[in-house]
Structure 1
């Protein structure tokens, strides 16, 4: 099952894809793709519907982030051994974790906004886990029961701010529109092996990233269990699981985004994103 949210930013409505790939409006049945809707019971209720009986979403409707009510976005750094190598870093003995502000979240086809003063805005295609039920002190064997599904994330990053502006990575990860998520929440029953997914990213048609979640150091189930030892995971929380090689920082010389660039990315079975790169119109 593929769930989505559509409409103007901040006013998104819930939706579902039918068998033909047409988006259908769920707003008459549930308030959002959030909270109890993400539980196994909530998803079972949606799965029992006949989507073709629901109103069609307008074809030109904007897609928003595919999950609502996100309290936190937890990111995992250097979680692909080959990506760690391209950045000159060691594979960490435990997952590196940092937070991305929820205000960075945007739709899968919204523009990437380069913030004022940025010199090194970079891209990162990532598998994103969406939590479905509260998780605290979860054993790895039980971790998948707390996952509602998966989606695509682009962990857009300002490398100069991340590395050279002191303190945590968060300030280089949290600018507005630095968190495109979607197009769909694909429920976990449709992703039997999250560690066997191809993921890729192009800039202006040039292939930059082409990897597989098979090379992740710490897999999806481990990450849910690991993070739940430190804090409670709530429905709608997003875990960005890291990126494969091919980021701009790792190129020789490094390559970063500029206004006018076009970023396209995708993960097998989870859809695709497309972002125009623009300068911040408020600057």
Structure 2
């Protein structure tokens, strides 16, 4: 199932995308938002399936979808350097610490929830704030059950679904604050997610998802999830050691090579750019970079 958020008659509603009909079924208000359904687990999904037969169907084309998640328990949880090709391309160019060898454990950081945008919303861009705006196409995990110290072998049982994200980053801000990534990752209205959440049962092979970022029609990133340094299960297991993950948490799983900061010459986002982020089986984001005053 693919769960999307949309506004109908001024009311934010949850919808279920029907690929066969190229439409979106508008779910009853009693089921609440996608955030509510995620926290409701299997019983909520059962109620969604029961409501589909009588739901109003809107054409997907022309329907403005919003960020599927908009109510967060905490900061967005993120994984750095999780594709070895990206780790290698960034040697000597990293913001803060620069490990000599490959890490033995995932690298974690967070970014503020006010970064979140919808799948076609404008990415805010303020050159007064930073001169190095970069793109990072990623697969994001949506947690569906509370859990702490989750065994790696059971980690996927805690996943509600997956979505697409672009972790837009300000490289100079990352470097400016003691090597901590939070500031250079947390600028308001800069991280599109969506276009929907694909439930875990829809994904046959987590190792064959193709991650791409296209900038003004040029493919900048193109890699398979098979190239991840640490698997989805490993990320969940290590992140949850002694720390409770909660239903509704969003975990970004890292970006492949091709980022602008590591290119020669470097490529950074500018006003008017069009960024397309896609993951096979999960959908596509299409966002314009738009001059905005953030200072």
TM exceeding 0.5:
yes
Q: Larger deviation: 61-70 or 118-127?
A: 61-70
Gaps of 5+ in 1: none
Given that 1:130 and 1:150 are in contact with CA atoms closer than 8 Å, whether structure 2 keeps it comes out as yes
Aligned to 1:79: 82
Matched with 1:210 is 222
Please tell me whether the aligned partners of residues 174 and 182 of structure 2 are also in contact (alpha carbons under 8 angstroms).
yes
- Does the alignment pair 1:150 with 2:152? no
Displacement after TM superposition at 1:50 (Å): 2.7
Superimposed CA distance per residue, residues 37-60 of structure 1 (whole angstroms, 9 cap, x where no aligned partner): 441222233234435x31234754
- SS at 1:162 equivalent: helix
Name the structure 2 match of 1:266: 278
Alignment of 1:195-234 (within 5 A): 195-234=207-246
Task: Decide whether aligned partners of structure 1 residues 70 and 57 sit closer, same or farther in structure 2, where only a CA change above 3 A counts.
Answer: farther
Task: Measure the CA separation in 2 of the matches of 1:133 and 1:167.
Answer: 33
Specify the alignment match of 1:31 in structure 2: 32
Q: Cα–Cα, structure 1 residues 208 and 11, in superposed 2: closer, same or farther, change >3 Å? A: farther
Q: Is the 8 A contact 1:128 1:238 kept in 2?
A: yes
Shift in Å, 1:258? 0.3
- Comparing 233-242 with 15-24, greater Cα deviation is found at 15-24
Aligned to 2:153: 141
* Gap change, CA 1:158 and 1:282, over 3 Å in 2: closer
8 Å Cα contact 1:2/1:184 also seen in 2: yes
2:241, 2:36 → 1: CA distance? 21
TM-score, scaled to structure 2: 0.89
Change (3 A) 1:230 1:259: farther
Pair 1:16-2:27 in alignment = no
Q: 2:260 and 2:11 mapped to 1: Cα distance? A: 34
CA distance in 2, matches of 1:84, 1:275: 26
Deviations 1:2-59 (A, max 9, x none): 0011139x963211112423012114341111245441222233234435x3123475
Equivalent-residue separation in structure 2 for 1:282 and 1:243 (angstroms): 26
Distance 1:193-1:265 versus aligned 2 partners, 3 A rule: same
RMSD, matched Cα: 1.9
Displacement, 1:94? 1.1
Q: Give how far 1:164 is off.
A: 2.7
Change (3 A) 1:172 1:282: closer
1:237 maps onto 2:249 in alignment: yes
Moved more, 33-42 or 75-84: 33-42
2:3 paired residue number: 3
1:62 Cα deviation after fit? 2.5
Structure 2 gaps, min length 5: 92-97
Q: What corresponds to 2:43 in structure 1?
A: 41
| Aligned length in residues | 281
Q: 1:282 to 1:158 in 2, by over 3 A?
A: closer
SS in 1 for 2:213: strand
Bigger Cα displacement from structure 2, 226-235 vs 42-51: 42-51
The structure 1 residue matched to 2:102, chosen from 54, 69, 91, is: 91
